[in-house]
Amino acid sequence: MELLQLQYFRTVARLEHMTKAAEEIRIAQPALSQTIARLEADLGVPLFDRNGRHIKLNGYGKAFLKKIEPALALIEEGRAEVADLAGLEGGRVFLSTTTHKCFTDVIGSFISRHPKARLQITQASTLDKIKQLRSGDIDFCITFPPLQEEGIEGIPFLTENINIAVPLAHRLADRSNIDLSELADDPFICIHAQNPFRQMTDAFCEQAGFAPNVVCEVDELSGVIHFLRTGIGVAFLPETLFEGQEMGFRLIRIENPDCRRTYQIAWLKDRYLSVAARTFRDYVVDYFQEQPKQYKI
DNA sequence: AACTTAGTCACCTACATTGA
DNA sequence: TCAATGTAGGTGACTAAGTT
């Protein structure tokens, strides 16, 4: 059974006249008769009652028409939606990212450049991002560390330093850079253990030869900042998060070990990416390449 | 009888599949 | 890779049957 047969049948059923239907479809009448005959042979029942040179939709035809009309409407709707998605102007990009300032900057910049493109943004854990990519719910996700997953491709586009934040009265507050091992005995304010940022900073501490003495675990970086101001401990913070802001604590560069993280924009290798999606990906990569000073690529 | 309409037949073309 | 083959969809010519 072919889509063409169904479309021809719908026209014949509506007009109940082969010649008029053929004219509307713009094919010769015999071709239409044969197509309808093939459809009927395929179904095993006649869809029309033939009475002389008149044809009339019969019970089978009416029942069949009732089923295929919404199906054909759905196909036409799908066709229109795909055309819409594939176009840049008015095209949609589905993205899972974080609220990191530099990403909100690039997203804002993209929208101002392409005001008709629509971005659908969600937040999710790394595991959920991978699931969403595989299910086709999103076009891209922004992650760190870069995903090492079968069938997923990515481009690293931003590398930033992870600094140490210390209270203003801390003994190292006047230093511009330190060795992380100097904080081996300090209390740490951390994100909860399941967060990738925490796993990364634990690895930094391990490289420095100690396990962090965690005195406080919070859900978000905003919570870390709140407790930093109380002076109960030190914390890891990404440098781009607070550029140019007076936060009531000091940010100190870590010289050793190498404390940096790299963000990647990732997508499913075999998934078709719309024009809008490809344009967005290229825009993100170009955006950070053009602003090396601000974002320390 | 002339016209109209649905169906049949022969043939052509395009395209997918298959096997060497 | 490419020729052979099968299938579907197309056309024009024609026939049969109903209508005017």
Domains and CATH numbers, chain A: 3-71 (1.10.10.10), 76-157+262-290 (3.40.190.10), 160-260 (3.40.190.290)
Nearest nucleotide relative to A28: CA against C1': C11
Which bases of chain B come closer than 7 Å to a protein CB? 4-10
* Residue A236: burial class (beta carbons within 10 Å; 0-12, 13-18, 19+): buried
List, chain by chain, residues whose CB lies under 7 Å from nucleic acid strand C: A 2, 4-5, 8, 27-28, 30-32, 34-35, 38, 52-54
Question: Has residue A190 got a pLDDT over 90?
Answer: yes
| A53 secondary structure, DSSP code | T
Question: Has residue A164 got a pLDDT over 60?
Answer: yes
Do the beta carbons of residue A261 and residue A142 sit within 8 Å?
A: no
Question: Has residue A244 got a pLDDT over 80?
Answer: no
Radius of gyration of chain A (CA): 31
β-strands A48-51, A249-256: how paired?
Answer: unpaired
Q: How far apart are CA A118 and CA A108, in angstroms?
A: 11
pLDDT digit string, tens, across residues A34-49 = 777 777 766 767 777 7
Q: Would you state the pLDDT for residue A90?
A: 58
Average pLDDT, chain A: 80
Mean pLDDT, rounded, for A4-10? 76
Q: At what angle do helices A18-25 and A3-15 cross, to 10 degrees?
A: 130
Output the distance from A7 CA to C20 C1' rounded to whole Å. 33
Mean pLDDT, rounded, for A236-243? 76
Closest CA to A145 of A123, A163, A160: A160
Largest CA distance in chain A: 104
Q: What's at A217, amino acid-wise?
A: E
Q: What's at A106, amino acid-wise?
A: V
Q: How many residues does chain A have?
A: 297
Output the distance from A294 CA to C17 C1' rounded to whole Å. 85
| A40 secondary structure, DSSP code | H
Would you state the structure tokens that stand for residue A141, as one six-digit string? 């996700």
Q: How confident is the model at residue A172 (pLDDT cuts 50, 70, 90)?
A: very high
Q: Would you state the pLDDT for residue A1?
A: 61
User: Which residues 6+ apart lie within 8 Å of A91 measured at CB?
Assistant: A84, A85, A117, A118, A274, A275, A276, A277
Residue A256: how many CB atoms within 10 A of its CB?
13
Q: What residue spans of A175-236 are helical by DSSP H? A: 196-208, 221-230
Residue closest to B6, CA→C1'?
A: A53
Cis geometry, peptide bond prior to residue A257 (ω within 30 degrees of 0): yes
Do the beta carbons of residue A295 and residue A240 sit within 8 Å?
A: yes
pTM check: above 0.75: no
